Structure 1
Amino acid sequence: MQHRTVGELMTRKVVSVQLDTPFKEIAQTLADNAVSAVPVLDNLGRPAGVVSEADLLRKAADRSDLSGRTPLPHLEAWQKARAEGCTAGELMSAPAVCAHPDWTVVEAARLMEVQELKRLPVVDEADVLLGIVSRSDLLRVFLRKDEAIREEIAREVIGRTARLGAAGVTAEVNRGQVALHGTVSDLLLVPVLVRMCTGVDGVVSVSEDLRRAPAGGDRAAGAATEERAGESRSPA
């Protein structure tokens, strides 16, 4: 099975700022491009970090409020230092957590989940920025047509396991939900089929109604035994 890659899904036209970009220019860049964060590049075009609305908002939150209606947030020393920053290099979250264009959707999604990130700069082998991939980009795999998913399952999952005893299996797909029907030679094959179907891009869930196929070999052997017995009872 071929998962779609980060390189296929990423946005190539990336809005970015430099390490020395001032606070107000960062805010203007975010507003003008309707984005919530941008990579911060060094002089070689490599992401040094990411600066977001949250990083800018920390400066406002750390200021005194004479009304007293909301408490002053507690900031760690490193947060306070960043709140006092005036340039992208001083305000950004660093180092930048990046992906590579040949990564699969699964790899990028796992990194986003572990690091609690909404986007990943995508870099080449020299760490130069190529694009950016967001959560919404990764979710595009779930826009695949049901027929495309069904065809891939028939070809890559059922087709590959047919010789193992899955030749009697069919798949139905409705809104990304896969239902497997039919028979298998060994019930140990069922979790394998489910796991493989789950790995197909665009699959939301997998259910199965699979049964063990009748032992055709046993029936044939029984028929042969009966035939031999009949022959032995026949008059000479």
Structure 2
Amino acid sequence: MRHRSVADLMTPNAVVVQRGTSFREIARLLEEYDITAVPVIDEGERPVGVVSEADLLRRHIEKMGPATAEALMTSPAVVAHPEWSVVRAARTMDEKKVKRLPVVDGAGRLIGVISRSDLIQLFLRRDRAIQEEILEDVLTRTLGVPPSAVTVEVTDGMVTLSGAIRRRSLIPVAVRLCESVDGVVEVLDRLTFEEDDTAAQPGRPAAGPAPSTPDLFP
């Protein structure tokens, strides 16, 4: 299975400002491009901070200090890398309490921005595409389950698995793998099994729980 990365979802050619950009110019850019924050870059195109609508409002209320990007910005900038998974980007946003992340290359130069709204695109993935990935990648290639054994129904990202698979221990694995597919909101398990291989046998412990996979939005 291939999960989309930050590079797949980020907005390239992001709107940026310099350290000396004025309050009024920043406000104009936010309005013109319908964005809520803008990265501040240095002479080497490396992000050094971010100016948000909240920063502008705070300066307007306090009316203290110079009204330039360098004085207004939240620094240092919390950044992401293009190879990151969207899970990692989402968790970083949640942990750092930010709504968007500048994306930098190996040299630290800005190459784009990823926002919460970009991450939401995952849940707009077509149901047919989700169904095909589960049938072909999860069930057939990964678990070796014949396509005819399981019925996969997807409605608005809600996945229902029904049918019978050979071993009981594969059921929680299948559910967790389906939950990790991009665009899946929830998985309803209606699977049955032919052989209960989770029961303890002499010389062999009962099968343990399925390995966990990270949720997209914690």
Q: Check whether TM > 0.5.
A: yes
Q: Which has the higher helix share?
A: 1
Bigger mean CA deviation after superposition, 179-188 or 193-202: 179-188
The aligned counterpart of 1:179 is 160
Cα separation, 1, equivalents of 2:179 and 2:66? 46
Pairs within 5 Å for 1:63-102? 84-102=65-83
* Contact 2:59–2:67 under 8 Å retained in 1: no
Residue type of the partner of 1:162? G
Does the CA-based 8 Å contact 2:168-2:194 persist in structure 1?
A: no
Query: Deviation at 1:90?
Result: 1.2
Letter in 2 for 1:92: M
The 5 Å alignment of 1:180-199 reads 180-199=161-180
**1:144-182 deviation digits (Å, cap 9, x = unpaired):** 11111111001111112126x997323111111100111
Stretch deviating more after TM superposition (37-46 or 139-148): 139-148
Contact 1:177/1:206 (8 A) holds in 2: yes
Pick one of 146, 153, 171 that aligns with 2:127. 146
Residue correspondences, number = 195
Using the TM superposition, give the Cα deviation of residue 214 of structure 1 relative to its aligned residue in structure 2, in angstroms: 5.7
CA distance in 1, matches of 2:51, 2:57: 11
Write the distance in 1 (CA, Å) between the matches of 2:66 and 2:194: 69
Would you say the 8 A contact 1:166–1:184 is kept in 2? no
Query: SS of 1:162's equivalent?
Result: coil
User: Which whole-Å CA distance do the structure 1 matches of 2:60 and 2:195 have between them?
Assistant: 71
Q: Which amino acid aligns with 1:84?
A: G
Indicate conservation of the 8 Å contact 1:161/1:167, yes or no: no
- Runs of 4+ deviating beyond 3 Å: none
What is the match of residue 191 of structure 2? 210
Q: CA deviation at 1:124?
A: 0.3
Q: Which deviates more, 104-113 or 149-158?
A: 104-113
Once the two structures are superposed, residues 9-52 of structure 1 have per-residue CA deviations (whole angstroms, 9 ceiling, x without a partner) of 11112111101112222222222222211000011000000001
| Pair 214,195 (structure 1): closer, same or farther in 2 beyond 3 Å | closer
Task: Name the amino acid aligned to 1:102.
Answer: E
CA RMSD in angstroms, aligned pairs only: 1.9
Pair 213,59 (structure 1): closer, same or farther in 2 beyond 3 Å: same
Q: Is the 8 A contact 1:166 1:185 kept in 2?
A: no
Partner of 1:200: 181
CA distance in 2, matches of 1:145, 1:166: 20
Note the residue ranges of structure 2 that are not aligned, 5 or more in a row.
Answer: 197-218
Q: In the alignment, what sits opposite 2:47?
A: 47
C-alpha separation between the residues in 1 aligned to 2:191 and 2:52?
Answer: 50
* Other-structure match for 2:202: none
Segments of 5+ residues of structure 1 without an aligned counterpart are 64-82, 216-236
Q: Deviations over 1:116-145 (max 9, x none)?
A: 211111110001000111111111111211
On the 8 A contact 1:158/1:167 being kept in 2, the answer is no
Q: Residues 213 and 32 of structure 1: is their aligned pair in 2 closer, same or farther, counting only changes over 3 Å?
A: same
